[in-house]
C-alpha cells in the first residue's frame, strides 16, 4: 500500500484539474476513502489558506477502477468573506465516479460545547489488528499496514441505551506525518471511510451481504493529528431496504471531539452470480 503522503500528493494538470496516483491494493474497486481524500486535497488547493475546511458531502456514483488514476475537476462555486465553496468531480474513463461539495470557513468566535467521549479501554491495552483472529480485521491490517488499528472488543463497549448497533475503533498512523494541519484533515477524510459501514454488521454477522459506500458526509470540529490516537465511535441507527445508515464521532485521546461522520451504505443480501 502506498504511503498516505503519496496518496494525497496530487499532480496538477491545469488550474483546477488534478490527478491522483494508482495505489497498490488488493481491493477490486478504488477505496472510497482514497477518492474522498484526494477530492478534498483538490478542493483545498484552490482555496485561500485563510479558509479552513469545515465540512464535506460526497456521493459515490460508480465503483472506481483501482488500476486507473482518478482525475478531479474543481468548480469554484463561491468565495465569500466568511465562507468558500467548491464542487469536485472525480472522473475515470470519461465517467464521474464521485462528486463532493466542500465548504471552507474563516474561523470565528462563538458558543462552544461537545459530547463527552465515551468510556473506552486505552488503545495500548488492546490487541493490534494484525494479531486478530477475525479474518476481516486481519485483512484490514494487511491492506492498511501503515495504520495501527485497535478494535474495541464488544464486551468492553459501553453500549448506548437503545442503540441498534455500535462499534469502536482506535487508529493512528504508525509513522509521523507532516505538521501541516490541512494534511491531517485530508488524511482523516481518507481514513473515515474505513470500518464505518462495518458497524451495521454487528447484529447480522452470519448474514452474507454485498456492501459499498453510497454517500459520505464529514464535519471537522477541532484540530487533531492523525499520527496520534483517535477513537472512532460508530453506530448504525437503522438498516433496511438494502441500505444502512451509519454515524461516527471521532475523539482524540484527550477527549476532544474532532470530527463527525455520517454515511449511508449498500447492505443488500448477497446475490450469487
pLDDT digits (tens, 9 = 90+) for 261-271: 999 999 999 87
Residues contacting 267, CB < 8 A, separation 6+: 197, 200, 201, 209, 210, 211, 239, 242, 243, 244
Torsion of CA 244, 193, 52, 82, to 10 degrees: -20
Q: How far is CA 171 from the centre of its chain?
A: 12
DSSP secondary structure, 108-164, as one string: -------PPPPP---GGGSPPGGG-SSHHHHHHHHHTTTEEEEEPPGGG--PPTT-S
* Per-residue pLDDT at 273 exceeds 70: no
CA distance 168 to 158: 10
pLDDT 10s digits, 206-236: 888 888 999 999 999 999 999 999 999 999 9
Residue 73 confidence class, pLDDT cut points 50, 70, 90: very high
**What average pLDDT does this structure show over 186-213?**
90
Crossing angle for the helix pair 32-44 and 181-191, nearest 10 degrees?
Answer: 150
Distance CA 221, CA 112 (A): 11
What CA–CA distance (Å, rounded) separates 99 from 89? 4
Which tens digit of pLDDT belongs to each residue from 120-159?
Answer: 999 999 988 887 878 888 888 888 899 999 999 999 999 8
Instruction: Tell me the domains of the chain and their CATH numbers.
Output: 1-107 (3.10.129.10), 123-273 (3.10.129.10)
C-alpha 112/C-alpha 252 separation (Å) is: 17
Average pLDDT over residues 43-49: 97
Q: Say what the pTM is.
A: 0.94
pLDDT score of 259: 98
Longest dimension (CA), the chain: 56
| Identified catalytic residue from 34, 200, 234, 263 | 263
Task: Tell me the three cell numbers of residue 234.
Answer: 460508530
**Average pLDDT over the chain, rounded to an integer:** 94
Say which of 92, 213, 234, 236 is annotated catalytic.
213
Marked catalytic residue, from 166, 173, 193, 200: 193
Decide if 263 is catalytic: yes
Q: What is the pLDDT of residue 207?
A: 85
16 is catalytic: no
Does residue 130 have an active-site annotation?
Answer: no
Amino acid at each position: 500500500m502506498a504511503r498516505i503522503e503519496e496518496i494525497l500528493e496530487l499532480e496538477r494538470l491545469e488550474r483546477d484539474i488534478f490527478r491522483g496516483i494508482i495505489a497498490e491494493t488488493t481491493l477490486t474497486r478504488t477505496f472510497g476513502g482514497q477518492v474522498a481524500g484526494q477530492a478534498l486535497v483538490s478542493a483545498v488547493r484552490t482555496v485561500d489558506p485563510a479558509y479552513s475546511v469545515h465540512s464535506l458531502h460526497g456521493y459515490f456514483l460508480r465503483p472506481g477502477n483501482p488500476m486507473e488514476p482518478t482525475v478531479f475537476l474543481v468548480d469554484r462555486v463561491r468565495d465569500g468573506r466568511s465562507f468558500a465553496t467548491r464542487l469536485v468531480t472525480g472522473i475515470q474513463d470519461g465517467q464521474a465516479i464521485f462528486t463532493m461539495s466542500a465548504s471552507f470557513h474563516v474561523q470565528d468566535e462563538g458558543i462552544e460545547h461537545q459530547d463527552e467521549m465515551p468510556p473506552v479501554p486505552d488503545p495500548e491495552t488492546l490487541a493490534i489488528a494484525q494479531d486478530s483472529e477475525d479474518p476481516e480485521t486481519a485483512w484490514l491490517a494487511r491492506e492498511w499496514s501503515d495504520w495501527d488499528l485497535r478494535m474495541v472488543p464488544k464486551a468492553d463497549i459501553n453500549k448506548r441505551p437503545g442503540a441498534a448497533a455500535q462499534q469502536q475503533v482506535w487508529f493512528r498512523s504508525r509513522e509521523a506525518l507532516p505538521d501541516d494541519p490541512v494534511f491531517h484533515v485530508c488524511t482523516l477524510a481518507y481514513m473515515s471511510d474505513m470500518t464505518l459501514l462495518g458497524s451495521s454488521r454487528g447484529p447480522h454477522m452470519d448474514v452474507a451481504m454485498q456492501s459499498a459506500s453510497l454517500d459520505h458526509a464529514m464535519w471537522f470540529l477541532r484540530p487533531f493529528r492523525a499520527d496520534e490516537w483517535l477513537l472512532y465511535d460508530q453506530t448504525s441507527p437503522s438498516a433496511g431496504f438494502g441500505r444502512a445508515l451509519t454515524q461516527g464521532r471521532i475523539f482524540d485521546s484527550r477527549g476532544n471531539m474532532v470530527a463527525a461522520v455520517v454515511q449511508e451504505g449498500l447492505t443488500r443480501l448477497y446475490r450469487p452470480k
